[in-house]
Amino acid sequence: MGKKLYVGNLGQNIGKNDLEQMFTAYGTVISAQVINDRETGQSKGFGFAEMGTDQEAQAAITALSGKSMDGRSLMVNEARPQEGGRGGGGRGGGGGGGGGRRGGGSGRY
């Protein structure tokens, strides 16, 4: 399995293809994505690239972290796992279900 990298401080003009091309020089790029704002569709200034091996990922980090692109200094490091994930939404729904029993719960209906 590949290693996912976080790429921060991207310029507004950098797209998925640009990001993929940037990392291809250091190995196999499994996936590349730039995160966009849901409402405006504009880049949020960060993205992710998944490299084929740990060695390729390390080579990309070493070469690209701090590199100037579009007048911005890139920040490239190993991505951290998402916190919360899908479980976060389920908990909110469960709390609402429990509120329906406030009427006494003794079966006096």
Question: 5-14: per-residue pLDDT in tens?
Answer: 999 999 999 9
Contact 20, 32 (CB under 8 A): yes
State the average pLDDT over residues 96-106: 50
State the average pLDDT over residues 56-81: 95
State the pLDDT at residue 9: 97
Contact 48, 4 (CB under 8 A): yes
Q: For the whole model, what pTM was predicted? A: 0.73
Model pLDDT for residues 23-36, shown as the tens digit of each residue: 999 999 999 999 99
State the average pLDDT over residues 95-106: 50
Contact 71, 65 (CB under 8 A): no
Q: Residue 104 — very low, low, confident or very high, per pLDDT cuts 50/70/90?
A: low
Name which of 2, 1, 5 is nearest 63 in CA terms.
Answer: 5
Q: How far apart are CA 31 and CA 48, in angstroms?
A: 8
